Amino acid sequence: MHVEVIMPKMGESIQEGKILRWMKKPGDKIEKDESILEISTDKVDSEIPSPSAGVLVKIIVPEGVTVDVGTVIAMIESDASVAVVEATTPAPAAGEVQPSSSSEIPSDATISSFESTPARHRDGDRFYSPLVKTIARKEGVALEELDHMSGTGIGGRLTKSDLLEYLTKRAQRPSAIPQPDAGIRRVDLSELQKKYPAPKYEIRQMDNVQVKMAEHMVASVRTSPHVQAISECDVTRIVDFREKNADRFERQEGFKLTFTPFFINATVRALKEFPLVNSSLEGDKVIVKKFINFGMAVAAPSGLIVPVIKNAEEKNFLGLARTINDLATRTRNKKLSVDDIQGGTFTITNYGVFGNIIGIPIINQPQAAILGVGAVKKRPVVITDAEGSDSIAIRSMVYLTLSFDHRILDGAIGGQFISKVVSNLEQYDFTKAF
């Protein structure tokens, strides 16, 4: 019996995915739930498990091609007694999706298969076929630009011919059509290779996650008036506690004790006292969340990913530490689901792991603020005792930076919030650690 492998729906807002790598080839035996390919969406890269045990008999969509959710991308023969097809991938027949270079428009065979696919609804009332979206993506036409084009199809639908005609006119009158500034524009590879020839230069293509992250950061700077508040914090007590308990913690939990759960726990407690920092803006309305979904930036092989600790306010120190380790491990192993990176209400980014002492992070929209943590460094610090006498001591210090949206938060709230985080860290209650 043949079992179809389809492009999975990785989340409510995910409508398509790009096949990055097939981990199996035709003729290979596959166990149920064994990873068979890796896909990339505009949010996360993921390994996809096999829906059935059997033999991979056909790969329909090759690597590098982006298709809609629900598209059949491979076939598995679940009955092992059936003869295995030739181990090399057969050439795609007419009607199957075929790859094309970044500078080519899909072939007629590809077009026929795309046009047979129902048009898909996008944010507003306009429908676009997968073919139109594929050509637009390859030619660097933003969806906002498509919205302003007139269509000759049924009900005003934009057809392939409409888009190709538009592209021809745009090439003739490049200055007459303004391009929306999304932070990333398509650049012709051949022209770049002439400008930056090998071997003196290497040209690298950004992947989906990198492009979306870049666009997200540009949009954030354009959307929010960023203001920063920087405080220094004495974490000597935390450093000492960690050094004394690191071995016991690792034996008990099976992973290393880091500074991250201390910083997140202290920040969660501050968010409870300053709920406006845990909010977002919609029009002229401030949406204050009664829960804390805490995002933490993780450096993954494909770029920066921000998995989310859901309902962080309900977790104690050990609960946070376990969740942090789990999310960080799955991020680096590309095992995150789309749900793991959605719904964040506040974010922390730790550039201190690379030795940086101060950073100015960009807000993760639509959140109101983000906390940056620098490297913990020993420095000489002036200490004032209870009697008012000063002395110099060597202390473990860290700089914390709060970037916040000045439309929602003023300097007073931002300053009070980061001061509370500092206080929570400097006066950390270790009896509730573990």
Active site residues: 406, 410
The answer to whether 27 touches 80, Cβ cutoff 8 Å, is no
Q: CA–CA separation, 238 vs 189, rounded Å? A: 51
CA nearest to 119, candidates 78, 153, 79, 81: 153
Q: Which two tokens stand for residue 71?
A: 């598209």
Sequence-distant (≥ 6) Cβ neighbours of residue 347 within 8 angstroms: 294, 295, 296, 297, 306, 364, 367, 370, 371
Asked if the peptide bond before residue 199 counts as cis, ω within 30 degrees of 0, the response is: yes
Edge-to-edge strand list for the sheet holding 66-68: 45-49, 35-40, 16-22, 66-68
CA angle, residues 14, 370, 228, in degrees to nearest 5: 140
Asked if the peptide bond before residue 225 counts as cis, ω within 30 degrees of 0, the response is: no
The answer to whether 52 touches 79, Cβ cutoff 8 Å, is no
Burial per residue of 216-240, b for 16 or more beta-carbon CB atoms within 10 angstroms, e otherwise? bbeebeeebebbebeebbbbbebbe
What residue has token string 């749900």? 339
Q: CA–CA separation, 120 vs 401, rounded Å? A: 43
Q: Which two tokens stand for residue 10?
A: 């990785």
